[in-house]
Amino acid sequence: MNQGSMANMNGKIFEEMMIPIFEAHGFLVINESEIPKYSPLPERVVIKNASYITIYNERGRTEFVIFAGERTIRVEAKYQSAPGSVDEKYPYMLLNGIYKYPEDEIIFVVDGGGYKKGAREWLQNQIDNDWLYYKEQGKNIQLMTIAEFMNWFNHTFG
């Protein structure tokens, strides 16, 4: 298996690791294309492969959107266990979060340890320092590892 195929497989496994966390708390997990089958949607649902319009005005997708009563939380997951280009997507991901995700609550789950030295720290600094004044736009952006996400989710929805 070449390096790109391995990276894609690892990313898919990483995303799939999150599904049992949702299901353990009574969330129905469905693909965006399945929404019409469940109308109206249940109180707790997670939409996989959730679409949005990117900063390039093209259709993009994130891994999940969590619907829990009045809360709607978009989750973007990036896994990188070896050197590659995933970390080069962090600015694009953050700009989409600030300007294009319709949700005000956003969680970036970034893990794997293979990102370039300083990449994750750069992302955390932009979030901590209110880059482009995203908080004034009503956005609440958090950066977590998979373990931090699991703890947050268990505490928030447990």
Using alpha carbons, select from 93, 96, 58 the residue that is nearest to residue 79.
93
Question: What is the percent of the chain where pLDDT is above 90?
Answer: 82
Count the neighbouring beta carbons within 10 Å of the beta carbon of residue 37.
7
27 pLDDT higher than 80: yes
Both tokens assigned to 154 = 């268990």
2 pLDDT higher than 90: no
pTM, to two decimals: 0.94
* CA distance linking residue 125 with residue 128, whole number of Å: 5
Summarize pLDDT for 95-125 with one digit per residue, the tens.
999 999 999 999 999 999 889 989 999 999 9
Residue partners of 79: CB distance under 8 A and separation at least 6: 10, 11, 13, 14, 15, 86, 110, 111, 112
| Mean pLDDT (whole number) for 49-55 | 98
Question: What is the percent of the chain where pLDDT is above 70?
Answer: 100
Using alpha carbons, select from 1, 7, 5 the residue that is nearest to residue 88.
7
Q: How many domains does the chain have?
A: 1
7 pLDDT higher than 90: no
CATH number of the domain at 119, please.
Answer: 3.40.1350
**Full residue range of the structural domain in which residue 95 is found:** 3-157
pLDDT band at 51 (very low <50, low <70, confident <90, very high): very high
- Phi/psi-derived region of residue 113, left when phi > 0, alpha when psi is between -120 and 50, beta in every other case: left
The pLDDT assigned to 39 comes to: 83
HSE-CB for 72 with a 13 A CA cutoff: 9
6 pLDDT higher than 80: no
Q: Radius of gyration of the chain from Cα atoms?
A: 15
pLDDT band at 8 (very low <50, low <70, confident <90, very high): confident
